Amino acid sequence: MPRRTAEALYLIRLIKRMEKRRVVITGLGVISPVGTGMAKFWDALINGKSGIGPITHFDASQFECRIAGEIKDFNPLNHFSTKEARNLAPFVQYAAVACDEALAHAKLNIQDTDPDRVGVLIGSGIGSIETIEHEFERYLKRGPKKIIPHFIPKIIINEAAGQVSIRTGARGPVTCVATACSSATNAIGDAFRFIQYGDADVMIAGGTECATTILGVGGFCALKALTRNNEQPEKASRPFDLNRDGFVMAEGAGVAVLESLDHAKKRGAPILAEMSGYGRTSDAFHVTAPEATGRGAARAMELAILDAGLRPQDISYINAHGTSTKLNDKVETLAIKTVFKEHAYKIPVSSTKSMTGHLLGAAGGVEFAACVYAIRDGKIPPTINYETPDPECDLDYVPNTARKAVVISAISNSLGFGGHNASVVVKKFKE
């Protein structure tokens, strides 16, 4: 090839990479404490149903917190062979099944497109802590030779994305994110970038978690981060309420299919909404506590809104991180006021964690799905258990009952241990 021709082709490719492509959402899949599958999940949210109950995975009688958002309607043998179910950790199983639903929702068979242009980006905050517990116990009782061969593949966080790739045949960018409670939002945001800049045409992205185990619950109890309202599990998660006393651990997965607009239109895909903005920052402050002014969280929202080409007053709904801890809810409220100023009091803000509990690394995935359906259906899920206003949390938290509203654009926030802040903006799709 003549040198000038090669240089011209290089410049054309470079220019194309500089032109950000539009990205749409064509499929969603959810495993959650309020129901497996988008239909059950969304119906529960709109009807204000809690998925919190007593812990059944282990004897929690000696723990300060004895409740969690466990998955109640998931049987691995409905989705995997006996051997697969034995060798795949629950957090990987949840990711795979949520992916199956998302692909079916998107009407996408990866083998009907170019698998080299399909990627997977699934985050998790902890991975399979349950496997670590079981195998350490096995070692203590029976020695090192009894540690199972699948121990390492079962615990590593990248295995969720790897297994989805193996099951679907996706051969594009396949990676993972581990930014604590921001993992799923960062995964979706990074996948958005991959498509925008031409690294992939389709990305399967989200988060998964199954850490409601002895050490998982015990560790958060030791941090004094969990609620002690064991007598009323369904009322224990109460974001922004004056009497909140800690979050409720939960498990599950939330996965989205993102596509370039051209790819989705070419195959006649159902378009649920458009993903338009992503921002991420660090507090650079503390390993568990958010920075007191909320400037890191505010900056993430500002960057996401700017990236979407919107103004703060264009946002119709905020799905808050809203964990039900004293400090987090106060700081996030401050951050929202910093970004939206007086308009902050006019924007509905709700925390679906009041119903699902906190899915840790998967939280942003299921909350992203809630934002997409809020746009689709014109309904905003409530913050349940909001009974006593907190003077330091004085916004419109959509208390206790879902609200009909025209939702043109929505922002979803995730704030993780280590100071990770991530925000994504989705909006109603228009040609």
What is the DSSP-derived secondary structure letter of residue 291? Answer: P
DSSP helix/strand/coil, 275: strand
Specify the residue for token string 């004293």.
326
358 classed as catalytic: yes
Neighbours of 282 (CB within 10 A): 15
Strand ranges inside 272-326, DSSP E: 273-282, 317-319
Contact 309, 290 (CB under 8 A): no
181 classed as catalytic: yes
134 classed as catalytic: no
The active-site residue, picked from 65, 99, 176, 181, is: 181
Taking CA atoms, 378 is separated from 277, 290, 326, 345, 356, in Å, by 20, 32, 30, 20, 21
Cα separation, 112 vs 104, in Å, equals 13
Interacting residues of 117 by C-beta distance below 8 A, sequence separation 6+: 172, 200, 201, 202
Cα separation, 362 vs 321, in Å, equals 12
What is the DSSP-derived secondary structure letter of residue 388? Answer: S
Interacting residues of 313 by C-beta distance below 8 A, sequence separation 6+: 340, 343
Taking CA atoms, 4 is separated from 1, 7, 11, 18, 143, in Å, by 8, 5, 11, 21, 66
- Dmax over CA atoms of the chain, in Å, equals 77
Neighbours of 54 (CB within 10 A): 12
Tokens of 260: 């370039």
**Between the CA atoms of 49, 50, 56 and 61, what dihedral angle is there, to the nearest 10 degrees?**
-140
Strand pairing of 420-427 and 273-282? antiparallel
- CA 11-17-20 angle, to 5 degrees, is 140
Interacting residues of 335 by C-beta distance below 8 A, sequence separation 6+: 294, 295, 296, 297, 298, 301
Specify the residue for token string 């396949």.
174
The active-site residue, picked from 65, 321, 371, 420, is: 321
Angle, in degrees to the nearest 10, between helices 38-46 and 363-377:
70
The active-site residue, picked from 210, 358, 393, 420, is: 358
Which residues have a catalytic role annotated?
181, 321, 358
